[in-house]
Structure 1
Amino acid sequence: MATETEIKLSLSARTASALAKQAMLSNIERRRQLLINTYYDTHDKRLRRERMVVRHRQKGRQWLLTVKTAPMLTAGLAQRSEWEVHSRPGEFDFSHLDGSVRELLESLRESLQPAFTTHFMRHTWLLEPRAGVRIELALDRGWIEARGQRQTIREIELELLDGTVSDLFAVAAELQASLPLHPAASSKAERAYRLLDDLPLTAVKALPVPTDAAMSSIEAFRLIALSCLNHLQYNEAGVCQSDEPEFVHQARVAIRRLRSAMRLWQSRLPENFVTRFDPLWQELANKLGETRNWDVFIAETLPALADALPGRVEVERLSSHALRRCANSRQASRSALKSVAYSRLLIDFSAATQALPDDAAGSLAHFVPRCLNKRARRVQERAAAALGTDDDAARHRLRVAFKQLRYAVEFFTPILAGPLLANYHQSASDLQDLLGRLNDLAVASQLAADAPTAGQGQGIADWLAAQTDSLLPEFAKRLNDFQQQPVPWKAG
């Protein structure tokens, strides 16, 4: 078994044509090879569920049987186990595999059938940026074929042959300095399965993070931060190609979770890590946030206003204004995710996260209670300021503190698992939902006040204020319920 470590980068046709002219490739021999691959799975796609790949590759007159694990890409980086042997098409010899992988594939051998193919021309260069480092740069251009349909392949793979992951990211960053390259969000096989199943784009929510009490705190941070990047990147295409609001919402949630994690670990991260990256993530979040505000305003506030104030011209004018502003802000969100700056941020942040020094200050189990106690105290302080007041800003500050606490609890759920967790989490969810509704009303009031028709819209302002007032008793009740919940961690 070998461990394959590579970074995948997508690029335009124009950039692909310009690649060979890059200075780092001058005086390096280029090799060219046609690769035809047939991927196999069972009728019910068992291998896909197990996140494994089995394929036959035709490489000239040579045939290779390859088995890989198939982890999600993070900023284009994949690290996976790989087994490869000479073979003949249609033959499956799994005798060289390890343990459970061999056992699974042996049990499925008779059920394996062709699922899809890839066909591409590969141009390769062997890079040796410093002594002891070898990296293969491969440019692949061709297509995926599944269900009689084709999808273009055009990507760079940087495979680490000798050296460190930091060396691999350094080459990716050097290429990005002169070429618009974007870290791939999915592998060829993942894209092929989507084509095979004819799946529409759907928004992806955050997946549970498998933290463990025996991890060091930095190991846990790395796992959480990279899972947030996955969450963000799995919603990129939807933000750029769809008007469905949930894509923007989930991309925003991913960044919010990432920034919360950076604050949780700030005392254990290198001094310049948060100061360097947090403003960049905040800038991106703000662009997505404007789109999200208009999406909520159009989907939830305007229909309620139209019902409450039927036939009012100021509501119609506000609606037209909102639709224009939403379209403009959505275009700005798309431009942000298509920008060179965003592509570089993904690589730079992922490289810096991978390179974080190991934490010698004890296990995650020691870090969790201190961290959660601090967040819980902040919620209590801000709750006292937000209760019994008409201050939208105070409730917003409570909402921010509460989100940071809730995200921390979710990050550490595998460690906190116990009888108290379900009630605590449900109470937290109920309170956060209500804080979200109050915040949406506060934002709606500001958006309406800033609209060109604001001077004609006192009825709108009064209605929004009344909606807020109607929720305050429930807010007090849910906050009290949450404060009565025993914490699902040792609070000492």
Structure 2
Amino acid sequence: MSIEIELKLQLTAKTAKKLASHPLLAGIKPQKQHLLNTYFDTPKLDLQAKRIAVRFRKKGWQWLLTVKSAEPASGGLAMRSEWEAQATPGVFDFSHVDADDLRQFLEQSTGDLEPIFTTDFRRQIWNVPFGESLIELAVDRGNIESRGNSTPICEIELELLSGKVDDIFGLTRKLQEQLDLHPAIASKAERGYNLYNKVPPSPFKAKAATINGQMTPVEAFRSIALGCLEHFQRNENGLLAGGEAEFIHQARVALRRLRSAIKLFAPVLPPEFVTTYGQTWQTLASALGDARNWDVFLEETLPPIQAAFPDNRDIKRLRNEARQRAKSARRSIIRLLAVSEYPRLLVEFTSAIYALTDTLPMPLKEFATERIASHARRARKLAARHATLSPEERHRMRISFKKLRYTLEFFAPLLPSKRLPSYLAALSQLQDELGLINDHVTAEALINDVLAKRPIGPIHGWISGRHELLVKELPEALEIWLTTGQLKIRRNS
């Protein structure tokens, strides 16, 4: 078995033609290959379910059987286990797979394996010495085909042959100085399965944290931060396409979780990392927040107002103006993602995450216990005096509950599995009610912005009435959460 460490970058056909003249490749004669690959799975796609890829590759006159694990990529970087051996087409011999459980699973599945999709592309390869490393730079151009449909391939793969992972990022940064290169997250196999399944782009939600009690706090942060980055990147295409509101919502949640994770782990992170990346995402986060506010106003807040005031002449104007503001907010997001600094930020941030080391080592369970207790104390202190909170303080209470929820979700693998769902459910209900209260406050500000010179007393009165009603219902949700008690880290986690 080998560990494949590679960074994938998207580029246009025009940029691909410019690559060969880059100074870093001067004097290096590229190898040229034609690679035809057929990927196999069972009719029920059992391999995909286990994030395993099996393919036959024709490389010149040679045939290879390859098995890969499919750990998710973030910032374009993927680390995958790979087993490859010479083979006869159609003969599935997995004896070269030295992971016993995986080999047995594959051997049991052999009789059901059938072709799912093919990738057919031409590859140019440069072996580039950079820093202390030797890096294979491969440009692939061709197509993925399945069930009569196809999608193009035009990408760079930077694979670490020897040396340090940081040199892959260093080489990428040098290339990005002259070329438009964007970190890509989906492998050819993932794209092939999407084509086979005819999966349309859909909003991607946060996945469960994959940490354990044997990790250090920095290792846990790395896993969590890369998960947040993947969450954002997988909604990127939906943002660029100006798609449904849920893409904006999920992208916004991804950045909120990422920024919360940086603050949560700040005590064990370098101060310059916290300062730099705690603020770096702010412009994009603000643009997403603006777009999300207009989406919520149009989809959730405005319809009941319109039902309450069917004859109000300002409602139609309000709706039309809100739609224009929502479109403008979407265009702002697209412009931010289109600037050259954005793909560079993805590379820089991913590089910085991998470069982190444990300068203040401490057990993760001890760290998690302290951080959970700190966030819970802050939230409970505000909840205990909810009746006297000002609107600004109530807003801070909402934010503190959100941070507590993210903290619990990040550390979930360490928490008691039986009690956590009910605790999170009570917290979610509380967040929902506080979110509705905040939506009405935001709606009033948005209406003032749109109809600043028009008398809208009845609408404001209706919003204020709903707001007061929600505030009166809040104590019950607070009481339910306050009686859930405390969550403690499991000893055997």
- Relative to the length of structure 2, the TM-score reads 0.96
| Matched residue, 1:114 | 115
Q: What is the DSSP-based 3-state SS (H/G/I as helix, E as strand, rest coil) of the residue aligned with 2:281?
A: helix
Decide which moves more: 93-102 or 143-152: 93-102
1:228-277 per-position Cα deviation (integer Å, ceiling 9, x unaligned): 01111111111222431111100110110111110011111011001111
1:70-114 per-position Cα deviation (integer Å, ceiling 9, x unaligned): 111111111011111111211111111121111111111111111
What is the rounded CA distance, in whole Å, between the counterparts of 2:378 and 2:314 in structure 1?
41
Question: How far apart are residue 49 of structure 1 and its match?
Answer: 0.5
| Matched residue, 1:83 | 83
| Matched residue, 1:345 | 345
Structure 1 residues 74-473: aligned runs within 5 Å: 74-98=74-98, 99-130=100-131, 132-358=132-358, 361-383=361-383, 386-389=386-389, 391-452=390-451, 454-473=453-472
What is the rounded CA distance, in whole Å, between the counterparts of 2:335 and 2:147 in structure 1?
33
1:193 maps to amino acid: Y
Question: How far apart are residue 386 of structure 1 and its match?
Answer: 4.7
Question: How far apart are residue 385 of structure 1 and its match?
Answer: 6.1
Contact kept in structure 2, 1:217 and 1:359, CA below 8 Å: no
Question: How far apart are residue 423 of structure 1 and its match?
Answer: 2.5
Question: How far apart are residue 419 of structure 1 and its match?
Answer: 4.0
Question: How far apart are residue 334 of structure 1 and its match?
Answer: 2.0
| Matched residue, 1:65 | 65
1:255-305 per-position Cα deviation (integer Å, ceiling 9, x unaligned): 101111100111110110011111111211101111100100000111111
What is the rounded CA distance, in whole Å, between the counterparts of 2:26 and 2:154 in structure 1?
21
2:405 maps to amino acid: R
Decide which moves more: 290-299 or 476-485: 476-485
What is the rounded CA distance, in whole Å, between the counterparts of 2:425 and 2:92 in structure 1?
49
Contact kept in structure 1, 2:4 and 2:160, CA below 8 Å: yes
What is the rounded CA distance, in whole Å, between the counterparts of 2:15 and 2:382 in structure 1?
51
What is the rounded CA distance, in whole Å, between the counterparts of 1:200 and 1:373 in structure 2?
42
Question: How far apart are residue 360 of structure 1 and its match?
Answer: 5.1
1:366-417 per-position Cα deviation (integer Å, ceiling 9, x unaligned): 111111111112213333565334x332221111111111110111111112
Decide which moves more: 21-30 or 297-306: 21-30
What is the rounded CA distance, in whole Å, between the counterparts of 1:387 and 1:340 in structure 2?
49
Contact kept in structure 1, 2:39 and 2:55, CA below 8 Å: yes
Contact kept in structure 1, 2:365 and 2:489, CA below 8 Å: no
What is the rounded CA distance, in whole Å, between the counterparts of 1:181 and 1:452 in structure 2?
44
Decide which moves more: 379-388 or 467-476: 379-388
What is the rounded CA distance, in whole Å, between the counterparts of 2:432 and 2:226 in structure 1?
26
1:436-472 per-position Cα deviation (integer Å, ceiling 9, x unaligned): 1111111111100111455232222221111111101
What is the rounded CA distance, in whole Å, between the counterparts of 1:339 and 1:123 in structure 2?
28
Q: What is the DSSP-based 3-state SS (H/G/I as helix, E as strand, rest coil) of the residue aligned with 2:461?
A: helix
Contact kept in structure 2, 1:257 and 1:407, CA below 8 Å: yes
Contact kept in structure 2, 1:124 and 1:139, CA below 8 Å: yes
Contact kept in structure 1, 2:263 and 2:278, CA below 8 Å: no
What is the rounded CA distance, in whole Å, between the counterparts of 1:313 and 1:113 in structure 2?
62
Against the structure 1 CA distance between its residues 309 and 408, is the aligned structure 2 distance closer, same or farther, given a 3 Å change threshold? Answer: same
What is the rounded CA distance, in whole Å, between the counterparts of 1:204 and 1:398 in structure 2?
28
Contact kept in structure 2, 1:318 and 1:453, CA below 8 Å: no
What is the rounded CA distance, in whole Å, between the counterparts of 1:177 and 1:262 in structure 2?
28
Against the structure 1 CA distance between its residues 33 and 418, is the aligned structure 2 distance closer, same or farther, given a 3 Å change threshold? Answer: closer
List runs of 5+ in structure 1 lacking aligned partners.
none
Decide which moves more: 420-429 or 158-167: 420-429
1:38 maps to 2:35: no
Contact kept in structure 2, 1:385 and 1:394, CA below 8 Å: no
What is the rounded CA distance, in whole Å, between the counterparts of 2:437 and 2:50 in structure 1?
42
What is the rounded CA distance, in whole Å, between the counterparts of 2:273 and 2:299 in structure 1?
38
Tell me how many residue pairs correspond in the alignment. Answer: 489
2:108 maps to amino acid: S
What is the rounded CA distance, in whole Å, between the counterparts of 1:218 and 1:231 in structure 2?
20
1:118-145 per-position Cα deviation (integer Å, ceiling 9, x unaligned): 0111111111013x41000001111100
1:114 maps to amino acid: P
What is the rounded CA distance, in whole Å, between the counterparts of 1:333 and 1:479 in structure 2?
36
What is the rounded CA distance, in whole Å, between the counterparts of 1:167 and 1:432 in structure 2?
43
What is the rounded CA distance, in whole Å, between the counterparts of 1:284 and 1:382 in structure 2?
30
Against the structure 1 CA distance between its residues 90 and 276, is the aligned structure 2 distance closer, same or farther, given a 3 Å change threshold? Answer: same
| Matched residue, 1:49 | 49
What is the rounded CA distance, in whole Å, between the counterparts of 1:266 and 1:69 in structure 2?
32
Contact kept in structure 2, 1:420 and 1:486, CA below 8 Å: no
Contact kept in structure 2, 1:317 and 1:453, CA below 8 Å: no
Q: CA RMSD in A?
A: 1.5
Contact kept in structure 2, 1:216 and 1:360, CA below 8 Å: no
Q: What is the DSSP-based 3-state SS (H/G/I as helix, E as strand, rest coil) of the residue aligned with 1:456?
A: coil
Decide which moves more: 186-195 or 418-427: 418-427
Against the structure 1 CA distance between its residues 454 and 305, is the aligned structure 2 distance closer, same or farther, given a 3 Å change threshold? Answer: farther
1:49-83 per-position Cα deviation (integer Å, ceiling 9, x unaligned): 11111111111111111111111111111101111
What is the rounded CA distance, in whole Å, between the counterparts of 2:55 and 2:242 in structure 1?
33
Contact kept in structure 2, 1:418 and 1:488, CA below 8 Å: no
What is the rounded CA distance, in whole Å, between the counterparts of 1:454 and 1:368 in structure 2?
51
Q: What is the DSSP-based 3-state SS (H/G/I as helix, E as strand, rest coil) of the residue aligned with 1:96?
A: coil
Q: What is the DSSP-based 3-state SS (H/G/I as helix, E as strand, rest coil) of the residue aligned with 2:3?
A: strand
What is the rounded CA distance, in whole Å, between the counterparts of 1:261 and 1:30 in structure 2?
43
1:123 maps to amino acid: Q
